[in-house]
Amino acid sequence: MLILFISLSILPILGFLVSLIFKNHQENQISGTAIITTSLVLLCSSVLLIFFLSINSNPISYHIISLYKSPEFEFSLDIYYDLISGVFTIVASFLSLIISIFSKTYMHRESGFKRFYNHFLLFFIGMMILVISGDFETLFLGWEIIGISSFLLISFYRDRFLPIKNALKVLSFYRIGDVALLSSVWFCHHLFQTNINFDAIRYNHYAIALAQAHPIQILIISILLIIAASVKSGQLPFSIWLPRALEGPTVSSAIFYGALSVHTGVFLLLRTYPIWQYSPYSSWIIICIGALTSIITTLIAKVQSTAKTQIVYSSAAQIGLIFIEIGLGFHTIALLHFVANACLRTYQFLVSPSSMSYLIHDQFYSYNPHKKNPFSYLPKSIQSTLYLLSIKEFNLDYIWYRYQWQPFKKLGKSFHFLRNTVSEALFFVMMVIGLIVYIIYPIDGLVHYAFISWIYAIIALILILIAWTERISVIRSWMYITLSQLFFMLSIVQQHAFNMVEISLYLSGTLGAFFIGIWSLLKVKSQENTISLNEFHGHIYEHPRYGLVFLLSSLMMIGFPISPTFIGLDILFADIEFDHQFLLIISALTFVILELAVLRIYARIFLGQHVKTYHETAFRSS
């Protein structure tokens, strides 16, 4: 049985690796790999579900491996399987199979044919890991993979401006969700004094008692989880990223934003129900978010005049209803609703280009010029207001831009006076001294100076803000990112027992990423006149290899699960002491902006409209 579980995640990984070895024009091999992978996974999931139902639907759990273990923290991979996992694995593998067959012909001769399948299989890995994960660490692993593959597929048409712009925008929302999830894991970790194992949490009476004793903490954890779920499932106030994510080929929009990725929020809520159920308010929060979303996105859906946005907003509205069902405790209905919504939206997306001929034909025969609008019974002023608001998506895009990201950018720019060699040297010296002091003096002596770790954390934040708003030197930006990461590490180790393994895990990833990144940037710089951060350059057109190398180094830098930084990061987060919420907030912010700053560099240098125009380049507006 274990072998079946392991194959659920190993098969997609194998498929992904195999799909890497082919050349772009070997379409049959590439799509064949994906089709075989998804159908095998579908087979395994079906067998598992049948088996599961035959043993009276008792949840199954396995401990696979401990990647890292210390007295306080254990990073392990666990599997947990219940009806929720069963339904999600079946739907995910079924729809992925459909998409991999559909895309075989649909994506034929696309210059990114291989890239599409690579990213799609990467996503499939993430999805499978997520839905059978047995603990928060494993879940977060899948969650992160889904996030990055989303980014890569939104920016699939990497030689145009809008996909890149929107990919970065969607990413900025995803980061809110990621950090909310990571913070809730941190809270859980400290509250329950153990890693959260989904199997154990259901029966752990000690944990229940603990939860009941700390209603505030539980409420915070619940809110963080709800935020994470709302972000991923396009609920208010985050909904507006959803239509903006539809930049990839129709098939990827279908699987991500019609079917699977968008329902991971639903999954998260169902999976963490044993945690948030102890907070009396959380159900109400979920119900309110769901209700508000379904009403508002329905309004927005009604005024949409494009085929895909209409689908995506009405899907968000249905997910709002699923949230309500979850909040009310009707989990089986929620599951059923998920299956229906996922399949319906996939279908609608796939046939959305047909709406042109179908609806024109339909109008040709059934147009009614006197048809009333859906709210004609309301007073005119209310109608107009609602209509206008819906067209403007209730101003949410503007509000996020103006009141969320712009202030941070302004803040970042206000630190630009630090962009000079002197302060850089100063930071460097500070960092080295910090390290030396830390190594020479036993930690116990320093632990009382919590403010030192705060200072380091604030420096890390400032540095990352500078890096994020840097407009000229890409090398400087990359350097500031690395420095920021090192300060981040310093600030956390300052308040904790010295552990060389933790530090070296983290350092090796960060420094490795730094050197690989700087190498590829310098290579490109030596061949091109300009590489500034002021505009998109699209250098991937001429330098696809450096682009790939830099992307990999970026992923390492942000702690994507291909580098030891990932484990290091998790540990470091876990190491933030419970009473240091301030430090957590600062670190969380740093962490949000880190990924934006790193991928911004990647986007600005390698993606977007190519600065050279000797070949066809798209208009900026297309």
Partner 1 sequence: MNTDNHVFNLDKTLHELKHYLPSQKTLKDFIHHNSLHPFQNERFYDGIFRASKIFGYKATLQLQDYRTLFKLNRIKEHVIDRIIINRKGSDALEEWVEKVLINEYDENIEPRINKFRSDWKRVYKIDLDSLVHPLLYRILCSYLDQGISLWQFPIHPNGFLASIRELESNSHVSFFKTKKVQSLLQDASITMLDLLQVIVGDEHYYEQYLFDLCFSHRGWSGIIGVIEDNPGTLLIDKIISLQDMIHVELLMEYDTLLDQLGDSWKPLSHTAQQPPIDLFSPVESSELEEVLKIWQDSFEWSYYDEVINGIKTNSTRQKTHAKNISFQAIFCIDERECSLRRHIEYIADDCETFGAPGFFGVEFYFKPIGAKFKDKLCPAPVYPRYLIKEYDAHDHHQQDIMFNKSIFTLVHGFIITIGLGLSSIWKLLQIIFMPKMSPSISDAFSHMNKYSKLTVVNQSTHDIEDGLQIGFTIQEMSDRVYNFLKGIGLIQSFSPLIYIIAHGSSSANNPHHGAHDCGACSGRPGCVNARVFSIMANHPEVRHLLKMKGIDIPDSTVFIPAMHDTASDVIEYYDDNNVDEHINQKHKIIKQQFEQALDLNAKERSRRFASINTLQDIHKIRKAIEQRSVSMFEPRPELGHGTNSLAIIGRRNITKGLYLDRRAFLNSYDYRTDLDGTFLANVMAPIGVVCGGINLEYYFSRVDNVKLGCGTKLPHNVMGLIGVANSIDGDLRPGLPWQMIEPHDPVRLLVIVEHFPEIVLKTIQSSAAMYEWYKNEWIHIVAMHPETQEFFYFSKEHFRHYHVQPLAIKSIDNVHHLFEEAPEMITNHIKHATFENLPIYQIESNISC
Nearer to partner 1, 312 or 556 (CB): 312
Residue type for position 18: V
CB 130 within 8 A of CB 146: yes
Closest by CA to 475, choosing from 515, 429, 435, is: 515
DSSP letter at 65 equals E
473 binds partner 1 (CB under 8 A): no
Residue of 93, 138, 250, 477 that binds partner 1 (CB under 8 A): 250
Site for partner 1 in 300-339 (CB under 8 A): 301-311, 313-314, 317-318, 321, 336-337, 339
102 binds partner 1 (CB under 8 A): yes
Site for partner 1 in 60-99 (CB under 8 A): 94-95, 98
Contact range with partner 1 by CB under 8 A, out of 39-47, 272-280, 353-361, 553-561: 353-361
Question: Cβ contacts of residue 434 below 8 Å, gap of 6+?
Answer: 456, 487, 490, 494
Question: Rg of the chain over CA atoms, in angstroms?
Answer: 24
Site for partner 1 in 487-506 (CB under 8 A): none
Site for partner 1 in 107-126 (CB under 8 A): 107-111
By CB under 8 A, the count of residues binding partner 1 is 110
Taking the mean position of all CA atoms in its chain, how far away is CA 489?
23
CA distances (Å), 190 to each of 73, 138, 428, 438, in order? 10, 18, 33, 25
Site for partner 1 in 538-597 (CB under 8 A): none
Neighbouring-strand partners of residue 135:
197
Residue of 4, 14, 497, 618 that binds partner 1 (CB under 8 A): 618
Q: Measured from the CB of residue 140, what is the shortest distance to partner 1 in angstroms? A: 29
Residue of 137, 144, 178, 247 that binds partner 1 (CB under 8 A): 247
Nearer to partner 1, 66 or 373 (CB): 373
Closest by CA to 609, choosing from 221, 162, 45, 216, is: 162
CA distances (Å), 180 to each of 26, 177, 224, 274, 585, in order? 41, 5, 5, 18, 10
Sign for the pseudo-dihedral over CA of 227, 490, 564, 193: negative
CB 269 within 8 A of CB 287: no
404 binds partner 1 (CB under 8 A): no
DSSP letter at 129 equals H
412 binds partner 1 (CB under 8 A): no
Site for partner 1 in 20-49 (CB under 8 A): 24-25, 27
Residue of 38, 85, 103, 510 that binds partner 1 (CB under 8 A): 103
155 binds partner 1 (CB under 8 A): no
Neighbouring-strand partners of residue 61:
80
Site for partner 1 in 363-392 (CB under 8 A): 363-367, 369, 371, 373-375, 380-381, 383-385, 387-392
Neighbouring-strand partners of residue 532:
473
Question: Cβ contacts of residue 147 below 8 Å, gap of 6+?
Answer: 126, 171, 174, 177, 178
Contact range with partner 1 by CB under 8 A, out of 141-149, 218-226, 293-301, 540-548: 293-301
Q: Measured from the CB of residue 22, what is the shortest distance to partner 1 in angstroms? A: 14
258 binds partner 1 (CB under 8 A): no
248 binds partner 1 (CB under 8 A): yes
